[in-house]
Amino acid sequence: MAQQDGGFPNDRSVTRSDTFCGFPVLQPQNVLPASILVHATGLAALGLSVRSTTHRCDRALHRSYLMAGVLWALNGFLLGATTSVALSCVSVARTSTARLFCRRDNRIRIGACAGFMLVSLTASALTWRGWSTLQPAVASSLVTYAAFFLSGAKLRLALLISALLWTQTVLSLHSPEQIGGNLLGIAGAAIGLWRTRKIVQT
């Protein structure tokens, strides 16, 4: 969905042409402040995403990934990307839960992981827009497993594969921040993978 700037039609302050879970989605091409907010949230999320994947420390990675997820969810909401919003919200909840359960019994983590995988698949089904929805669903499930059970180089490899799976969906949004974030996310995950493998080898 190509984004185009425009004024306020018929002196109305807001134009709505889509909904998400029953709530109206603001269309940034018709609302100037929303257009500015799209770029602001996208750039902020972009910076946090790149920073998170290049961290050597897993705790710092999860913290930055959590904050980036909140901003990506808001950015996707403003763009009207329903699947992206749903899975970003799942990502935020998943990252928070994984941090809380990181030292818990293995059975608890398995149950939490299975629950978030089910939520990811349900969110994808509710926002289904053809087979292009399948790749983000697989990416979300992969990162869900990684958040609960992987660390170090394996965690960053999962993030790299996830970013690759998101590529087609991100390109369809025609958002510079989303596209840049995905490409830099791929590069950042590759760098993070290389750095952590280097630490292990030494």
Predicted confidence (pLDDT) per residue in 87-101, tens digit = 788 778 888 888 888
Alpha helix positions (H), the chain: 32-54, 58-79, 82-101, 106-126, 134-149, 152-173, 176-201
State pLDDT tens for residues 151-190.
888 888 998 898 898 888 888 877 776 787 788 878 888 8
Q: Does position 57 have pLDDT exceeding 60, yes or no?
A: yes
pLDDT tier for residue 198 given thresholds of 50, 70 and 90: low
Separation CA 42–CA 133 (nearest Å) = 21
Per-residue pLDDT at 21? 53
Contacts of 82 (CB under 8 A, 6+ apart): 18, 20, 25, 127, 129
pLDDT by residue (tens digit) across 8-32?
Answer: 333 333 334 455 455 554 454 444 4
111, pLDDT greater than 90: yes
pTM metric for this prediction: 0.62
**What percentage of the chain reaches a pLDDT higher than 90?**
6
CB 65 within 8 A of CB 144: no
Q: Which of 2, 6, 90, 88 is nearest to 41 (CA)?
A: 88
